[in-house]
Structures are given as C-alpha cells and as structure tokens.
Amino acid sequence: MVKIMNLLPLIVVYPLIMAIIFNYIYKSKVIRILALLMALSLIILPFLGSYGTYFFGAHGMESGLISGIAYIFNPAKQIIIFTLMLIGSLVLITGIGEKRVNGLFVSLLLMGLASVSAVVLADDLFNIYVFYEIVAIVQTGLVIASGTEKAYKSAFRYMIMGNMAGSLLLLGIAFLLSATGTLNISDMHNYLANNPATPTIYGGLLMLIIGLCYGSGLPPFHTVKADIYARAKPFVASMLQTYSKAILVAIMLVILKLFGGLSYFNTAHGALIALSIFGMVFGVVMALLQSDYKKLLSYHAISQVGYVAAGLAIGTPLGIVAGIFHAINNFIYKSALFLGAHIVSQKKSSNLAKLGGLLPIMPTVAFMILCAKLAISGVPPFNGFQSKLLLAEAAMNVNMPELAIIMILVSVGTFVSMMKAFYLIFLKPCSEEQIKEYKTTKVSKYSIFSLAVLTILCILLGIYPDIVINQITPYANEIGRIWTL
Amino acid sequence: MILYYDINYDIILILYPIIEIAIILLILVMNMDLQLASFITAGILAIVGLYGVFFVDNVLKKIIALSALGNGVNLTLIAIGYKAGGIVPIKMPSMEFTMFATKAVYPLPQALVLTNIVIEASMLAIMLALSIVFYKKYKTLKASIILKED
Amino acid sequence: MEYDKFQKQMEKEKHGDGISVGAGLTGELTLYSFLVMSVLLLSRVFSDILFAVIGISIIGIAISFMPMLFKFNRENSNHINMQLFWVSVFVGILSVVIYFAK
C-alpha cells in the first residue's frame, strides 16, 4: 500500500540537515543571509504535513502491534510546533544582529528545534528518549557558547544532573519495556490498562517523573535550570526556556496517556501536582530575592513551568487545555521578556542596581516590555490573563480551591517582582553621565523587531484566545479524564 | 546539609570489585543463570554510580561514577533482551518464520543501548573537557571548591 | 517577625532599597501562605484529624521561625553539594510516595 509522499518528517529532518550544513560555514556574511532564509522557512514547516498517525520503517501495523517509529500529528501539536518555530526564527533574527555570528550557534539552535519538535510529535518512548538527550546536549552547548567562566560552571552542573537524570529515564524506559514488551505509547497504554501492576511498572513511572522534572526544570532541578537560563545570553535563554517548556508538555502528555485513569496512578498524580506547586512557589520566591535581571527572569521561567505543569497534572480536559494554552502564551511573553533583557543588557548591564532612567531613552521598548510584564502577571487585556483564568477554573472544577489560591498568590508575587524590575530599570532616577552613556550605545534593530512581533502576539491572543483554544480542545478531550477530589 | 560531605565515602567503592568477583565465581562455580547475574551486576553498577555522583567530592570521580551508572543501565537493557541460545534478529529468506520468531533475540534494547552509548560518550567528552578547564584555573578537582556557590 | 530586623537582614544580603525589601516581604508571605494552603489541602485530602493537628502545629512553629526567606535562599543556592542533596531527598520522597502509598 503506497501512500502519497507526506512532508511531515521535514519538520525534524530539514532543521537537522541545515544544522549539519551550518556547522561548516565560517563566513559571517554567508551565515547572516542563510540564517535569515532559515528563519523565514522555519515558519512554513508546521503547515506542510497533514493530520494523522504516521509509521516510519516500512512495517506499519503487524498483528495489532505497531512496529517502527510512530508520529502523531494533530492541530494541538501543530500549534505548539508553530509557536516553537516562530520563536526559533525570531531568536535567529535577533542573532543576526549580533556583532559576531557563529555558525555553531545557528546549528545548535536548529538541532534543538528539530529535536524538540520530534519529542512533541513522537508516539514512542525510544524517539522521545533520544531527542530528549539531544536537547540536553544542545542546551549545554548554547550555554557554553556564551563563553564566560560562570557559564562553563553552570553547564557542568547541568551536565552532571543531566547525565544522571538521562540514565534514570533510560532505566525507567527499560523497566517499561521489560514489563510491557513494547515502546509504542498507544500499545503500551493498552497493555497497562488490561494487566495488573507490577513493581517494574511503578519503577518506570518513577523514573519517567524524574526525567520530566529534569527536562522541564521542576524542583529538585530548578536551581540548575535557572542557572543555565541566567548564564546564557538573554536572547539564547529565551530559546532555552522554550525548549524546556515544550519538553514538559510533551512528556507530561505521554505520562497522562500511558497511565491516565489507572488506579495506581492516583498517588503519582498527587505527586505531580505537588511538584508543580513547589515549582510555582519556589520559582517566584527565589525571583523576588534576585537583584540580577537575568536571574530574576530565569526564576520566573521556573515558576511558569509550575503553572503549566499544574494545569497538565490536573488532567481534566479543561486542565489540559489550560496547561497547553498557558505553555504557548508562556513561550511568547517569556521570550519577549528575555529579548527585552537582551536589549537592556546591551545598553548597560543586567545588574538592577546599576540600571535606571531608561524610560526617556527608549519609550517604545519600555512599553513593549511593560506589555510582556503585564502578560506574565495575568493582567486582563493580555494572553497571560486568559490562560491563568482557565487554570484557576480547572483547579476549581476538580474541587481544589487551595490550588487556585496558590496560583493567584504566585501571580501577585510575579506582579510585585516584575514591577520592581520595571521600576529599577526604567523609572529610577539616574545621573546625567549615565544618560550620556545610554545615548552612545546602540541597540540592534533586529531584536526590537522580534520583541514587537511577540508583543503583538501577546495582545492578539489576549483578545482572541479562541484561535488557540479551539485547536487544542479535541486533543485534550481525547486525553483528559474528568474527576473530582 | 554540608556536614555529611565531610566524611570520606570513597572507601565504600572498594566493595564493588569484591562483589563483582563473587558474582563471577557464582557464575563459574555454581552455574548461576547468566541473565540473573547480569541483572545483579547492573543493579550494583547503577547503585555505585548513583552513590558516586551523590557522595564523592571529586569532579573526575563523579564523571567516572556517571559512566558506571550509564553502563549499569546499558547492562540492564542488554539483559532484558537476552535469550539463551538466541540468534541474530535478521530474517534470511531461507529461514522459517516460526523458527525465526521463537529463536531471534529482541533487537529493540540493543538499539537503545547503541544510542545511549553514543549520547553518553559525547556528554562525558564535554564534561571531561570542561573539567580540564576547571583544573587549569583552580589547580584542584574538588567539586565543592570548583562548583561552589556563585 | 519585625520589619526592622527583616530590613537589616535584607541590607546584609545587598537588597537594601525600599522596593527590594517590599519584594522580599512579599516572598516571605507567599512562602508562608503556601505552607498554610498546602497543609489545608493535605489535611482535606487525607481527612485525618491527627494530620490536621500536626499541620496546624507546623503552621504555628513556622510563624515563630518567621524570616524563613533567608534559610530558603541558602538551601536553594547553586552549590553542587546542596543541589545533589536536594535531588536525593526529592527522589527518595518520590519513590516512597509512588511505591508505598496506599
């Protein structure tokens, strides 16, 4: 049976091939032109394939069991990958504006984009493991590329944890493989639903959760993750946090798909909700204490991971819609904030104590950063409000008002620290010399362009949230299960 | 929290080769099941690895421990796919299907192991390179000095 | 907890100006209310009187230890031993929860 050639695998294959090519280019000018072309072509990729289930490896279904690599493509995954690619291309465009453009940077970024989209698309644990590890290596590489000693140290910490968590994840996959005899997620779910639980399956679940925590930066790995966001260049950090959040969504959905509705999943379910609450609170409390703008933003990234994880861990259809929608919003406004931090640190530094009085120098940038700040704290006309409302509603629907209250409290903390940063950067009075210094340094137009695109998206999704929600809802109804406490 | 790092835990690692020798003796003398023996070895390797990562205060030893952990996981995977008297899972045209299906070993774990080896080699290479950089600067390999709070 | 003591402590950690102290206080209150809310949630989930009593006593003890923020900050530092310690604690608790819960 011959199918018409489908272009879906291009999402993974095209950036990977281009990553290899970019590796061998040294001339800055050539890289600039090619990277611009790449940035334009990345956005088209998610619209090439048609929806459905794909099998690669020429075997397809054999006696009811799936053999070979399986991908599932549906509107929800399409919109996640589209946002991912959009932010990837905006970061590439920002990177073009840098003084020295490195081919290695572009190639690492493309490799990460390809692997994260593969993790989102894949329907078997083998693929997920392989690309998960590649993302870990890519993130380390991007941090090391910033070239400072602190970056090396944080990369080393990240690798120690990463190697350990990666090995444990593989051990979990091995446990699940020995218990069920397959790595395909749909087959594995069928097996798990029809057979009694064994200790091996518990072990697999535990290790999957540890892998999830590392990949997304939930506690106990939040300090490592916040470190690498803070030590990378800010516009690279916007890409790093996007990778982590996409991996969180993908692996959390895998766990829900595998174990959702099974009786022994209840305690693990509770543990996931607890981890997400820890993520929210630890992130925001640490962020309130920081005096470095990059570090403040990176702890907020952890806190937002907690929100997304809470929505997904609730596991009802509404919770999953809220979680994925919040993840997409989060890609957008958090990247905008990191790009804003890039512009600010180009002006002087990212240390909040040294900054001040930037508002009259660049009012439009300040306005756009303010928009992103309001979006992250959940103020009505922006997209953060819509998803946080949905999250609180989902928490209320499962009869957990405490979770909703914690979400609102964390929102308040986010607002306070964001306004603190805004005051210290833009409003605090500063000396005449500093203003002269500001006027001499120039900001690249490319980063302002990227920031503007993201801000417009923030407002657009805040006014018309249905664009995204309607796409996610069918998939969430398929996975989610209704329950109350 | 720092207190329990003051004791030197490296001594316990000596236990590992002793246990290994004991298992080899069990296989040779007592005819122990190979799969079981490799599961036990894998478990010991993984535990030693985790132990080394958590407790040993030396960057290089941490890397060695990570590789031990990875090898333990690899051995677990291989032991899952093990079949006594199995054949290579490539179906030749001359083979009967039922014979092939009953005798061939399970190829999926081996594919996973291959992937894991490649990934781990690259990760450990980066880590070793970074530890050279750190050693040049700090003239020591103590993790609690190199990777202290900053 | 007194405001003056809190401010002095904040100045020691180089967050002396007014807005940073305010942010620190918000963090402290967030931490405390998170504790209260999680105790409420847990006692409701397990619906155990003993658990509720212990929880309320934890809330009471926490109020007497009040600037918890600085201890919390120290535990969340990026010293490698601290990170590995908390990883081992979390992994241990997770495995206990998943294996041995009812």
Cβ-nearest to A137 among B46, B53, B123:
B123
Q: Where are the domains of chain C?
A: 3-75
- Distance of alpha carbon A122 from alpha carbon A72, whole angstroms: 6
Q: Does C73 touch chain A (CB under 8 A)?
A: yes
Whether the complex's predicted ipTM surpasses the cut of 0.95 = no
pLDDT in tens, C67-80: 888 888 888 888 88
Q: List the single best residue of C12, C19, C79 to mutate versus A (max A Cβ within 10 A).
A: C19
Identify the H or E element spanning A60. Answer: strand A52-62
Q: Does C11 touch chain A (CB under 8 A)?
A: no
pLDDT in tens, B79-91: 888 888 888 877 7
pLDDT in tens, B35-53: 888 888 888 888 888 888 8
> What percent of chain A lies above the pLDDT cut of 70?
98
Which stretches of chain C sit within 8 Å of chain B by CB? 75, 77-82, 84-85, 87-88
Closest CA to A88 of A49, A123, A115: A115
pLDDT in tens, B6-16: 455 566 666 77
User: What distance in Å separates residue A200's CA from the closest CA in chain C?
Assistant: 10
CA dihedral of residues A241, A243, A249, A252 (deg, nearest 10): -100
Chain A partners of B59 at a C-beta cutoff of 8 Å?
A: 156
Residue of A nearest to B118 (CA): A130
Specify the DSSP class assigned to residue A2. Answer: -
Residue A391 token pair: 């999250």
For the domain made up of B11-146, give the CATH fold.
Answer: Helix Hairpins (1.10.287)
- Distance of alpha carbon B56 from alpha carbon B69, whole angstroms: 14
Cβ-nearest to B148 among C79, C84, C88:
C79
User: What distance in Å separates residue A199's CA from the closest CA in chain C?
Assistant: 8
Q: What pLDDT sits at residue A330? A: 92
Chain A partners of C27 at a C-beta cutoff of 8 Å?
A: 284-285, 288-289, 413
Answer whether C84 sits within 8 Å of B149, measured CB to CB.
Answer: no
Give me the DSSP letters along A184-201. Answer: BHHHHHHHHHHS---HHH
Cβ-nearest to A156 among B49, B116, B127:
B127
Cβ-nearest to B126 among A129, A140, A164:
A140
Cβ-nearest to B147 among C75, C80, C88:
C80
Chain C partners of B7 at a C-beta cutoff of 8 Å?
A: none
Q: Does C9 touch chain A (CB under 8 A)?
A: no
> Per 3-state DSSP, what percentage of chain C is helix, strand, and coil (rounded to 5)?
80, 0, 20
Q: What pLDDT sits at residue B111? A: 87
Answer whether A163 sits within 8 Å of B70, measured CB to CB.
Answer: yes
Residue of A nearest to B61 (CA): A160
Q: Does C46 touch chain A (CB under 8 A)?
A: no
Q: Does C97 touch chain A (CB under 8 A)?
A: yes
- Dihedral over Cα of A347, A348, A352, A358: its sign: negative
Answer whether C86 sits within 8 Å of A220, measured CB to CB.
Answer: yes
Separation in Å, CA A405 to CA A395, A412, B58, C57, C63: 9, 11, 44, 22, 20
Answer whether C97 sits within 8 Å of A405, measured CB to CB.
Answer: no
Chain C partners of B1 at a C-beta cutoff of 8 Å?
A: 75, 81-82, 85
Q: What pLDDT sits at residue C5? A: 81
Chain C partners of B53 at a C-beta cutoff of 8 Å?
A: 84
SS3 of residue A42 by DSSP: helix
User: What distance in Å separates residue B1's CA from the closest CA in chain A?
Assistant: 15
CB of A234 within 8 A of CB of A341?
yes
Q: Does B97 have pLDDT greater than 80? A: no
Q: List all chains that touch chain A, counting a touch as 3 or more CB pairs closer than 8 Å.
A: B, C
- Distance of alpha carbon A267 from alpha carbon A276, whole angstroms: 14
Q: List all chains that touch chain B, counting a touch as 3 or more CB pairs closer than 8 Å.
A: A, C
CB of B134 within 8 A of CB of B59?
yes
Answer whether B1 sits within 8 Å of C78, measured CB to CB.
Answer: no
Specify the DSSP class assigned to residue A424. Answer: I
Portion 97-116 of A in contact with C at CB < 8 A: none
Answer whether A400 sits within 8 Å of C80, measured CB to CB.
Answer: no
Q: Does B1 have pLDDT greater than 60? A: no
CB of A128 within 8 A of CB of A169?
no
Classify residue C14 as left (phi > 0), alpha (psi -120 to 50) or beta: left
Q: What pLDDT sits at residue B149? A: 82
Cβ-nearest to B109 among A141, A150, A177:
A177
Q: Does B3 have pLDDT greater than 80? A: no
User: What distance in Å separates residue A36's CA from the closest CA in chain C?
Assistant: 37
Mean pLDDT along residues B6-33: 72
pLDDT in tens, A353-373: 888 888 888 899 999 999 999
Q: Does B113 touch chain A (CB under 8 A)?
A: no
Q: Does B6 touch chain C (CB under 8 A)?
A: no
Answer whether B115 sits within 8 Å of A130, measured CB to CB.
Answer: yes
User: What distance in Å separates residue B79's CA from the closest CA in chain A?
Assistant: 10
- Distance of alpha carbon B108 from alpha carbon B39, whole angstroms: 18
CB of B69 within 8 A of CB of B50?
yes
Residue of B nearest to A227 (CA): B150
Q: Does C72 touch chain A (CB under 8 A)?
A: yes
Walk along chain A (485 residues) and give the pLDDT tens digit of each residue. Answer: 344 457 888 889 999 999 999 888 888 888 888 889 988 999 988 888 888 888 877 666 666 677 778 888 999 999 999 999 999 999 999 988 887 778 888 999 999 999 999 999 998 888 899 999 999 999 999 999 888 899 999 999 999 999 999 999 999 999 999 888 888 888 888 898 898 888 888 889 999 999 999 999 898 899 999 999 999 988 899 999 999 999 999 999 999 999 888 888 888 888 999 999 999 999 999 999 888 899 999 999 999 999 999 999 998 999 999 999 999 999 999 999 999 999 988 888 888 888 888 888 889 999 999 999 999 988 888 898 999 999 999 999 998 898 999 999 999 999 999 999 999 888 888 888 888 888 888 888 888 999 999 999 999 999 999 989 998 999 999 888 888 88
Q: Does A270 touch chain C (CB under 8 A)?
A: yes
